[in-house]
Chains A and B, each alone.
Chain A
Amino acid sequence: MDIITQENPTETTISLELRGRFDAHEADMFRAAVDQAIDNNNVQIRVDLANVEFVDSTALAELVRGMKRCREQRGDLVLVHPSDPVRVILELTKLDAAFDIV
């Protein structure tokens, strides 16, 4: 999986565009990107999932962890344009109710 990071220097917002398969093999890389963003006070994280074809349970857990960390800092982790299979997986796991999805 690739992560393309795009910061907005005037705001506390950062975009993480993920590409490929987001599974347990990629969890450490994603966690590091989220933690670095929060450490840099980018507590509004937009995770673009348009080009992610599959997320496993470990990936979902990482998304939830990131969302909780952001909300603790009065920010949020927002899911952007999840691909169709990822949308369905979010629905089936009922995580669609937990995240802000745009």
Chain B
Amino acid sequence: MTELSTLNSSKLDAYRAWSTTPIESRPRYSVVIPAYNEEWRIVPTIGAIATHMSSLGEPWELIVADDGSTDTTVELVDDLDLVNLTLLVAEKNGGKGSAVRRGMLAASGELILFADADQSTPIEQIESLVDQINAGHDVVVGSRAAAGAEVANKSLSRKIFSSGLGFIVRGLFRIPVADTQCGFKLFTADAADLLFRRQLVDEFSFDLEILYLAGKFGLSTAEVPVTWIDAPGSKVDAAKVAVEFIRDLAVIRWNDLRGRYESDNHQASAAG
């Protein structure tokens, strides 16, 4: 057998340094992966993300925010023994929104990305989102609906779900984002702190709430087309999520009318 450790490249060297040497300065980037029963998908995703992010040449940290997984996700991630990976374990399943929030509020990077555990949006596309942050935006959304996006293997139910949601969101909620639900969003640290401390929705429509709040607080949001590959084994039940989504639209508006977004609802701690 060939020892992989003898096969070196600059990318591999960067990965090996990141995987074994704790970063000493504030991370430029934090990558947050929410994970619920992802034992089949999480390790290859971590490998792809760790290789690419390490190659950027900036200090970065990886945060896996477990959401009360009942499979071996937590053990698998813990066993990787990557020194700059933080695993946040939840005792019970609280919803994707709760996992993302815990990860975002535990992150210490200057820029914080959350990315789905299935690598459906390949990590290499973070650079185009960073460009928009550098152009002055506070929140940058990976989009499957923006001009130039490439979408592969998307199911019909997801297409109907997405187009229907897009119509509702833009028409009734006046959120100028064509794709609110893509699991690939980048925030400045200040924007993440402001938004995720106030977040109240714990289910799939938390993205919508975050973007609604970004508009409410005058943050600048940009949308960047991405290549997106539908990963088999998606846990999204489009019909069920659509019902929850419409319900949560009303909840978000009601929360706002009641002034529930005027102050923090969560603290910046891993226990969130």
- Chain A interface residues toward B at CB < 8 A: 21, 23-25, 53-58, 60, 84-85, 87-93, 96-97, 99-102
Q: Which residue of A lies closest to B80 (CB)?
A: A92
Contacts of A101 in B (CB 8 A): 1-2, 4, 7
B47 A89 Cβ-Cβ under 8 A: yes
Residues from 36 to 53 in B contacting A, C-beta threshold 8 Å: 40-41, 43-44, 46-48, 50-52
Task: From A60, A85, A87, A99, give the contact of B7 (CB < 8 A).
Answer: A87
In Å, the complex CA distance between A19 and B163 comes to 32
Q: Name B47's closest neighbour in chain A (CB-CB).
A: A89
B15 sits at the interface (CB 8 A): yes
The residue among B4, B52, B80, B122 with the most chain A CB atoms within 10 A of its own CB is B4
Whether A88 and B43, one on each chain, are in contact in the complex, defined by CB atoms closer than 8 angstroms, is no
B227 (CB) vs chain A CBs: closest residue = A21
Q: Which residue of A lies closest to B19 (CB)?
A: A88
Contacting pair A56 B47 (CB below 8 A): no
Residue of B nearest to A87 (CB): B4
CB distance from A69 to the nearest CB of B (A): 19
Interface residues of B in 1-45 (CB under 8 A from A): 1-4, 7, 9, 11-12, 15, 40-41, 43-44
- Contact string, B112-145, partner A, CB cutoff 8 A, digits 1/0? 0000000100101000000000000000000000
